[in-house]
Structure 1
């Protein structure tokens, strides 16, 4: 492999480089999450960092890279004082990694051939005292993210697998990269990363020109390009070593500690992790610039890196810090540093110390009926959604094999073991294998402690877990739905279902229909917050092309079936069923029922949410549900407070 792109040669991305260098100085900060659009050199910068880290003294032959100068409880110990020098490692965790690959597992070869229980280390052991890099961390299974974040926070990994109990050191610099367009991390996981950086491609022409110039020069001669930047990289490496040596002597004055507490209180972050991360980052920043004491500039730099992702409370909140909020929080921090006591968010009796969120004004619709006549009114913006609620669980029936999630039953690589199998399954079912081999040991001439195995003895574990689905919302935005109170309730229901989809790791899409035709407001995506944003910009009014809405949904699902055949779809149709725009058949309702029949023929699991309102009900949504072979629930039933029970997505076949 050719030389890596030099860290010093990266153009721009000052915040990202600072965050990585500060973590290299003080690994206790807790790692870096890099958020950014595709093609912004996120991976290039992270991979270049490993070359700057100091070489390590390790115990020869130790699989865990132990430092001979530091006593440790190592599974490969006890160790002597012999040492060998090697570079710090960059270990990459692929998105498709299993739990065994991450934390290690029973050494099956030795268990089955020698009859001993031995531990085979995983990637956490390989990354000890180096860098663990997770590209597309938002696509990694949640339980794996929890495992590696726990190890990064504690500095040790604990393994309890198949009768093996092992604990080993796992101190590493954790770096994750992600593209928010492909879905967000849960706020609980975001909080576990020490720092976060948003990376965007520069819009400055000279900067973009220099980026391309350097990249082309690197591709033409990787070794020569790296040599030209070698001295700059060596200088950064020397600064890291010097800052590490200085770190223990850096003083954090009480005034700056009060400043940190006041700023975190002003942003109303949950828990105390933010305060600790800001304090560690500010200390590392002071050590990096050669200071002996933390100052205001160190705290401000730390706040900009440590707090943006911690102000998210709702899944649909945008991460980041607004300058006005930051300035106000820094002002309060300065007052606390001088006065001696941080001012809490409610100390002045005025509520939150941050600027109030602007309230949404409600457009005046007092003249909505003026003019009369049959002419269609221009589309109106949708009213603000009603308050969100805990939605019922909508499930696809049967057992699928889709992407890991938390909605419908599925055969999976993780989850509870259902049974052993000779064909379909994942991972060795140890007990089943031993049980299959045991009756044949005498016939195979076994005389020692080890088992004699053959291929026909092997059994695989059939596991059952949960999968995420493609939830396609088909929303009626026509004039019959445009009554402000009703559309507000519908929007609130969709937001609640979107929040549920976010929590269950679903892929989502939105189709709306009004006026003359339907449109795909959002193609299927993992970014649930993008669906919420499109919903807020939804416009209402006009006729009801229900048939076209269902046909458009049919085409979207057909395309997704080719793109991702294992992910089962769930269609959620929100409508009052009053079709008024005819298709090719001339009868709007008959055309809609025909379109629904196409979806039913494809066995698409569906739910119809009946949005009809008023004392006189025509029951048209129920007829559409019948044609879809779908469950039909009333809007008010879906939005009941503290709703309990399960709504099955489709009738059992």
Structure 2
């Protein structure tokens, strides 16, 4: 028997524990997103919550966990007779793996019954199993887009609709959605981010005494899990009873008008989009009052609810830090003005400025070291870093060929075992994924006729059909940026940084990995190894200084080594090399000869050369790479459309 770590034994993480407990009291809050660095017990805390949840009364034998007091009239296992004795079971914590198939999540045709009994029957998926429980998604930011869409629909409506393989099913799917993620591995889609009611940033304690207590407790648990859990049994029972009592008290808690004004004033002050934040704050404040044993929401409840419900909804730019907390002074001012409506001092409120609550347009993210990597800001001979120009929308740069099952994303087209159903085909070798309806349709003509004896399905090998799925993949976009002195002339570097920032924005939206190689002086430097965190890339780009000669060949050689290493690490992810240079090669061997070694990699050369005398090296470089050269000013969407159609890239 596997023994879980006790919730009450967790050291620290007060905001995380409170957010989970409030959702346990009121699942209508909408779940919790837990963001934090690796090794901070995110998963441990979430899994320990399930043991505290009250038991669930279900209709005996119902695979969809119908409530005996109010059974779902559209339950696939129904209709349920009234007056049946209910069955109680512990609340479930259902884990959704990142690599789960759509069939596993939503449910599918029961193959066993279809083949043995010849009937269409529905096999429930994870959404059905999580009904009236907890649906836990570890590494939720890495979840495939088509699975994210399923979660969004079910979380919004509390109902799962399944239309596939000749089966049409609707069933209830109300669950507490909890997701954990490491921001270093990339961010969430904005649509899914907003679906989480509360969000908590988790960091390991920097207090040596607290860290020592964490280690001490973990070692004790590993040595004797059952004994350790038994020592905290009383605390676990107290928490479970308190959750049950708060659930009973919840309907009686009132939300006074002044508290409601405080909620709406805070949401307006922080300029959050839509009304979901207001509703989540109201529900969280009511749940907090019930948890504390009070019958009325107080300003303190509103303040706490704001700290948990707003930080992840304030993000306006992909390069903003989603984990940044609220401006406490601004929060207090909004609450004070809302709770004192007759106060005339609002006209004299100070202007917070355009970027009061963000890290700034192109600045480095919080937590980045002040000293830049070699070859960037502060390097010998480098000019002071210029801030990037304003980002703009770019056109799609993508491989024209269709990939074979690369990582899920939104750039190149791909076929494989994930994505949306796009038909069926006869397998060309080993059968990868059976398409049962198409197989049955192919076998139907010879199920009756002369020579047919016995019962059961007659299936021939030539009847087999393979499911065909199409989706979009993410790519590795490696930027190779010229940081030499010639690039710093006039204001070109500002425009170049703005262009690269725009491409980073596009990479963020398409869920790509990005890397940054810079070259100037005598060498090239990997300013940022390939990562899914575009915040890191934008920070390094903002601090990139210029100066020195132009070792263009060195930059290409370094890019070649980075791509070779990534090909070994992740062979399914296709690369896209973006070289940004003015073509004023002044140091090292001939870059055109070096570029031929990279032929076959999908490439684009952004030509920054200007002036009356043009050397045209960017065009020759693009020809050697087998890619396309485009002018810097053609990167904007309005100019790039015709150029991209001519790009020929090799898988």
Q: TM-score, normalised by structure 2?
A: 0.91
Which residue pairs with 1:414 in the alignment? 419
Which residue pairs with 2:23 in the alignment? 23
Which residue pairs with 1:247 in the alignment? 250
The 3-state SS of whatever aligns with 1:191 is helix
Question: Which deviates the most, 557-566 or 395-404?
Answer: 395-404
Which residue pairs with 2:278 in the alignment? 275
Rounded Cα–Cα distance in structure 2 between residues aligned with 1:75 and 1:193 = 28
* 2:67 counterpart of 1:75: no
- 1:616-640: per-residue Cα shift (whole Å, max 9, x none)? 2111111111111111111111136
Going from structure 1 to structure 2, the CA distance change for 1:639 and 1:453 (only over 3 Å counts) comes to same
- 1:462-507: per-residue Cα shift (whole Å, max 9, x none)? 2232211111110001111112411111111111111111111111
Gaps of 5+ in 2: 364-378
The 3-state SS of whatever aligns with 2:80 is coil
Going from structure 1 to structure 2, the CA distance change for 1:358 and 1:628 (only over 3 Å counts) comes to closer
Give 1:357 shift.
6.7
Give 1:436 shift.
3.0
- 1:406-440: per-residue Cα shift (whole Å, max 9, x none)? 11121132135254132467543244312432343
The 3-state SS of whatever aligns with 1:519 is strand
Give 1:447 shift.
6.5
Structure 2 counterparts to residues 259-270 of structure 1, below 5 A: 259-270=262-273
2:624 to 624, 627, 630: 627
Going from structure 1 to structure 2, the CA distance change for 1:522 and 1:349 (only over 3 Å counts) comes to closer
Rounded Cα–Cα distance in structure 1 between residues aligned with 2:214 and 2:350 = 51
* 2:96 counterpart of 1:90: no
Which residue pairs with 1:369 in the alignment? none
* 2:374 counterpart of 1:337: no
Give 1:337 shift.
2.3
* 8 Å contact from structure 2 (residues 432, 466) kept in 1: yes
Structure 2 counterparts to residues 6-17 of structure 1, below 5 A: 6-17=6-17
Give 1:150 shift.
2.6
Which residue pairs with 1:597 in the alignment? 596
Give 1:108 shift.
2.9
* 8 Å contact from structure 1 (residues 332, 343) kept in 2: no
Going from structure 1 to structure 2, the CA distance change for 1:570 and 1:154 (only over 3 Å counts) comes to same
* 8 Å contact from structure 1 (residues 315, 499) kept in 2: yes
Give 1:2 shift.
2.7
Going from structure 1 to structure 2, the CA distance change for 1:46 and 1:614 (only over 3 Å counts) comes to same
- 1:22-57: per-residue Cα shift (whole Å, max 9, x none)? 000000000000000000000000010000001111
The 3-state SS of whatever aligns with 1:393 is coil
* 8 Å contact from structure 1 (residues 336, 342) kept in 2: no
* 8 Å contact from structure 1 (residues 115, 449) kept in 2: no
Structure 2 counterparts to residues 546-565 of structure 1, below 5 A: 546-565=552-571
1:201 to 190, 195, 204: 204
Going from structure 1 to structure 2, the CA distance change for 1:578 and 1:355 (only over 3 Å counts) comes to closer
Which residue pairs with 1:585 in the alignment? none
2:114 to 111, 127, 132: 111
Which residue pairs with 2:371 in the alignment? none
Which residue pairs with 2:541 in the alignment? 535
* 8 Å contact from structure 1 (residues 187, 315) kept in 2: no
Give 1:115 shift.
3.4
Give 1:449 shift.
8.5
* 8 Å contact from structure 1 (residues 509, 523) kept in 2: yes
Going from structure 1 to structure 2, the CA distance change for 1:352 and 1:66 (only over 3 Å counts) comes to farther
1:470 to 468, 476, 497: 476
Going from structure 1 to structure 2, the CA distance change for 1:105 and 1:636 (only over 3 Å counts) comes to same
2:401 to 393, 398, 420: 398
Give 1:330 shift.
2.6
* 8 Å contact from structure 2 (residues 146, 419) kept in 1: no
Going from structure 1 to structure 2, the CA distance change for 1:359 and 1:101 (only over 3 Å counts) comes to closer
Rounded Cα–Cα distance in structure 2 between residues aligned with 1:321 and 1:297 = 21
- 1:86-105: per-residue Cα shift (whole Å, max 9, x none)? 11111100000111111111
- 1:598-618: per-residue Cα shift (whole Å, max 9, x none)? 111xx2111111010112211
The 3-state SS of whatever aligns with 2:621 is helix
Give 1:542 shift.
0.8
Rounded Cα–Cα distance in structure 1 between residues aligned with 2:48 and 2:10 = 9
The 3-state SS of whatever aligns with 2:439 is helix
Gaps of 5+ in 1: 363-375, 583-587
Give 1:643 shift.
5.0
Question: Which deviates the most, 111-120 or 280-289?
Answer: 111-120
Going from structure 1 to structure 2, the CA distance change for 1:301 and 1:231 (only over 3 Å counts) comes to same
Which residue pairs with 2:368 in the alignment? none
Going from structure 1 to structure 2, the CA distance change for 1:444 and 1:623 (only over 3 Å counts) comes to farther
* 8 Å contact from structure 1 (residues 397, 648) kept in 2: no
Going from structure 1 to structure 2, the CA distance change for 1:607 and 1:94 (only over 3 Å counts) comes to same
Q: TM-score, normalised by structure 1?
A: 0.91
Give 1:334 shift.
2.2
Rounded Cα–Cα distance in structure 1 between residues aligned with 2:60 and 2:488 = 73
Give 1:356 shift.
7.5
Rounded Cα–Cα distance in structure 1 between residues aligned with 2:171 and 2:246 = 27
Going from structure 1 to structure 2, the CA distance change for 1:437 and 1:208 (only over 3 Å counts) comes to same
* 8 Å contact from structure 1 (residues 258, 342) kept in 2: no
The 3-state SS of whatever aligns with 1:644 is helix
* 2:504 counterpart of 1:501: no
Going from structure 1 to structure 2, the CA distance change for 1:573 and 1:648 (only over 3 Å counts) comes to farther
Rounded Cα–Cα distance in structure 1 between residues aligned with 2:359 and 2:198 = 29
Going from structure 1 to structure 2, the CA distance change for 1:305 and 1:342 (only over 3 Å counts) comes to farther
The 3-state SS of whatever aligns with 2:516 is strand
Rounded Cα–Cα distance in structure 2 between residues aligned with 1:361 and 1:281 = 34
> What RMSD, in angstroms, separates the aligned Cα atoms of the two structures?
2.6
Going from structure 1 to structure 2, the CA distance change for 1:562 and 1:639 (only over 3 Å counts) comes to same
* 2:162 counterpart of 1:162: no
Give 1:11 shift.
0.4
Which residue pairs with 2:217 in the alignment? 214
Give 1:146 shift.
2.7
The 3-state SS of whatever aligns with 1:394 is coil
Rounded Cα–Cα distance in structure 2 between residues aligned with 1:359 and 1:434 = 59
Structure 2 counterparts to residues 1-400 of structure 1, below 5 A: 1-73=1-73, 74-80=75-81, 81-322=84-325, 325-339=327-341, 355=356, 378-400=381-403
